[in-house]
Structure formats: structure tokens, C-alpha cells
């Protein structure tokens, strides 16, 4: 089902594509803000550069990561966790730009999740060939709070599965400017990203950037 709507208040055109109960794709939701987002990201990444973290099992992730906000998601030989400190710099993560939080809150509200106040923004950068295997986002305290996921740059195939890893996953193509929101009954669904195919984007070259907003505490 595709629902087209014109958001008069925001003066922008976006398309909603429900995935299942509690999950929705907002097509083109951040397109008008692309320049502002990329400029703010440059600033954040100058303070906490992207790096390829190591999983608890000892594998280096193909996706390069950083964070902004009070909490940052990290992984190392000790496990997955949220940390207030960037382990590379020894400093707090860069602040989350106010308009990032506002965009995430607006996206969440479109999906019916009111007053979402993210305190973590994971920044994922995919090169061609990078992928993310199926996982649940479950290191957060309050599962009534949704996940808001912003896609920028070259396209990717998002996998949106069920409550068990072996459940068949939907394939959802995501393009520059799209936002996926999942929460409620869908909050703990497995999800991942297939290996990104060769492509080029006018602003990001051969890269895809994903911003994942969460309320950790």
C-alpha cells in the first residue's frame, strides 16, 4: 500500500509506505535537509571520526561507525554496549545537533510515536560491498520508544525480518532521503542491510550513510 500525502505545515512532499504494524517508510522525508545534515555530520565526524569496530567474536565490521548524542553505540571484544565516551578519543561523543533530534521526532510522530526524544545517534557509513547482518536493536532500556533510521547516499536493500532470526525478511529498497521508523509491535524485529552495490551519489560518492536514532536511557 502506498499513501501519498502533502505535509502543508512542513511544506514538503513525502510518501508513507507501511511495512507492518508499527513500521513505516517515509520516502524522501529528509530530502529538503540533505545539505544541512551533511554539513553537521562533517562537524561531528571531525571530532569523532568513523572507524571499523570489532565484534565480540573478533570480526572487524565492514560498516564504519561513529556517534553523536549523550550515548554512543560501541562494540569491542568485551561486547556491545552504549557508552557516554568515545573510546578512541577518550572524550564525550559530539553533541547531537538539535535539528537532528527534531527531524527524528517528526518522523517518529508520523508513525504514531509521540514525543520521541533520542539521546543517541549511531552513524553508519557503508562502502560498496559493506553489509550489516540481521540483528535486533535491544541494548536500549525502553522498548516503547521507536527506532528512527535515516538513509543518505547510494541505495541499499534493507532487510526487515520478524521476531526470530530465521523468519523470512522483507526486502525494502532504501534511497537517499528515506526514513524508516519501527516501534510498538515491530520494535524488536530483526533487520539488516544486504551488501551495498556499486553506485555513485552526487553528494556522497560511492557511499551510503545511515543515521539511527534511539532513546537509550
DSSP 54: B
CA angle (124, 41, 73) in 5-degree steps: 40
Residues 135-174 that bind ligand SIN (CB under 6 A): 149, 158
Closest of 217, 199, 70, 20 to residue 127, by C-alpha = 199
DSSP 94: P
CA angle (7, 9, 13) in 5-degree steps: 25
- Interface residue with ligand SIN, options 14, 48, 105, 124 (CB under 6 A): 124
Rounded least distance, CB 211 to Fe ion, Å: 12
DSSP 194: P
Cα(157)–Cα(173) distance, rounded to whole angstroms? Answer: 5
Residues 19-48 that bind ligand SIN (CB under 6 A): none
Rounded least distance, CB 118 to ligand SIN, Å: 13
Site string for Fe ion, 113-142 (x = CB under 5 A): ------------------------x-----
Binding site for ligand SIN (CB under 6 A): 122, 124, 132, 149, 158, 191, 193, 210, 212
Binding site for Fe ion (CB under 5 A): 137
Amino acid at each position: 500500500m502506498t499513501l501519498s500525502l502533502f505535509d502543508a505545515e512542513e511544506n514538503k512532499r513525502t510518501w508513507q509506505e507501511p511495512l507492518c504494524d508499527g513500521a513505516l517508510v517515509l520516502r524522501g522525508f529528509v530530502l529538503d535537509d540533505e545539505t544541512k545534515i551533511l554539513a553537521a555530520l562533517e562537524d561531528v565526524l571531525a571530532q569523532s571520526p568513523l572507524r571499523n569496530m570489532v565484534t565480540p567474536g573478533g570480526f572487524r565490521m565492514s560498516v564504519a561507525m561513529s556517534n553523536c548524542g549523550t550515548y554512543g553505540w560501541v562494540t569491542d571484544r568485551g561486547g556491545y554496549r552504549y557508552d557516554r565516551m568515545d573510546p578512541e578519543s577518550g572524550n564525550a561523543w559530539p553533541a547531537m545537533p538539535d535539528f537532528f533530534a527534531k527531524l527524528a521526532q517528526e518522523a517518529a510522530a508520523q508513525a504514531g510515536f509521540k514525543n520521541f526524544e533520542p539521546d543517541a545517534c549511531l552513524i553508519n557509513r557503508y562502502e560498496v560491498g559493506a553489509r550489516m547482518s540481521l540483528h535486533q536493536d535491544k541494548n536500549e532500556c525502553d522498548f516503547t520508544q521507536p527506532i528512527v533510521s535515516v538513509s543518505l547516499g547510494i541505495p541499499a536493500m534493507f532487510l526487515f525480518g520478524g521476531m526470530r532470526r530465521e523468519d523470512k525478511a522483507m526486502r525494502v529498497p532504501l534511497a537517499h532521503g528515506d526514513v524508516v521508523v519501527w516501534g510498538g509491535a515491530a520494535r524488536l524485529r530483526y533487520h539488516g542491510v544486504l551488501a551495498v552495490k556499486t553506485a555513485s551519489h552526487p553528494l556522497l560518492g560511492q557511499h551510503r550513510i545511515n543515521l539511527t536514532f534511539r532513546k537509550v536511557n
